[in-house]
Amino acid sequence: MKRLLTTLALAATTFGAFAQNTLHIEGSNEMIGDSVYVITRATFRNPLGVAAKDGKFSVDMPLSEVQTVYVMGKPKTPNDRGVRFTLLGVPGEKAVYSAEGTHFYITGSQFYKEFDTIDRATEKMEKLEDARDYVVNYAKKHPTSEAPVAMLASLGYEAAQDIEKALTPEVRNGRMKAYIDNVMAGLQKQHEEDLAAAKKQGAGVVAPAFTLKDINGKDLSLASLKGKYVVLDFWGSWCIWCIRGIPKMKEYYNKYKGKFEILGIDCNDTPEKWKAAVEKHQLPWLHVYNPRDSKVLNDYGIQGFPTKILLDPEGKIVKTVVGEDPSFYTLLDETFGK
């Protein structure tokens, strides 16, 4: 949950001691080289660069409205990854970035402290629904806090609605109003697209045909698997929930070995990262690579990752499960555990 939440937009609750048209950002990370670049809509083509020393930096970023801010630390050497993080900049506020091992955190003004509390609580949660419940309950217990607003875009339409309803009118219609309006409008649109996608993924629908390249560069068609139960697993090496679900997938693949096949469909990856992930995680099932110009995602109405679709031996959809949801494994037990 950590990587999901830490890339979200952040907001603030009270104006600090900084100029109201300035966002103060400071931080430290030993991975940062000699400079840091801060990017907003206004500086997209000409990022603001500031010097960094011993991995530490401090910048007062001119900012007149709430918006997403991107911070990129220059790598120490060409072989290093450098540092990148994103936050929702709020004029007059202070954000403090820090790194602890492979994790990073953002604290600072009161809002960021509240956000940090949520962030750390949800960081190790393996199930998305647990994180949703935590944030929704936090919003209900702290209706005057803006911190849950930062989670709106990541927890799904229904959870976002629950969070929005929990906020006091002062918070809902305060300085974050435009941000909330934009996020909710986007989620509403996504919800409508999800409903349209559900029609493509409904039980009894014949799965659209496709042929993609397998791990050895050979054509593999869905038609070649007809006569078997097949799980289409839409995933990517970049998808944290996909990776976290691998142990459970392996467990059930072995539990009902021979009763169904898994076809991993890698999406939004490079071939190199795809193959490296298959090798790293020792995935024993079939794999194909879905190039960016493919129509497969559209044909299946894929809106999120992972998405798992169980097909019957006739090639018809039994059920679609979006996200790393326990109901998928319940489905396998009900289908093959008889």
Q: What is the pLDDT of residue 185?
A: 96
Q: What is the CATH number of domain 211-336?
A: 3.40.30.10
Q: Where are the domains of the chain?
A: 2-194, 211-336
Are 2-194 and 211-336 in the same CATH fold? no
Closest by Cα among 326, 213, 315, 226 to 265:
213
Q: What is the pTM of this model?
A: 0.62
- How far is residue 248's CA from residue 72's CA, in Å, rounded to a whole number? 35
Q: What are phi and psi of 75, to 5 degrees?
A: -65, 150
Q: What are phi and psi of 96, to 5 degrees?
A: -120, 120
Mean pLDDT for back-to-back runs of 10 residues, the chain (338 residues): 43 48 92 93 88 95 87 88 85 90 87 91 86 97 95 91 98 92 93 82 91 97 97 96 95 97 97 96 98 92 92 96 93 93
Residues 6+ apart with CB under 8 A from 123: 1, 2, 5, 103
Q: What is the pLDDT of residue 124?
A: 82
Q: Let me know: does 172 contact 143? Beta carbons within 8 Å.
A: no
Q: Determine the straight-line distance between the first and last CA of the chain, rounded to whole angstroms.
A: 34
Closest by Cα among 214, 227, 232 to 288:
214
Range 215-240 burial, b when 16+ CB lie within 10 A, else e: beeeebebeebeeebbbbbbbbbebe
Looking at 2.60.40.1120, 3.40.50.300, 2.160.10.10, 3.40.50.1820, the CATH number of the domain 2-194 comes to: 2.60.40.1120
Q: What is the pLDDT of residue 168?
A: 98
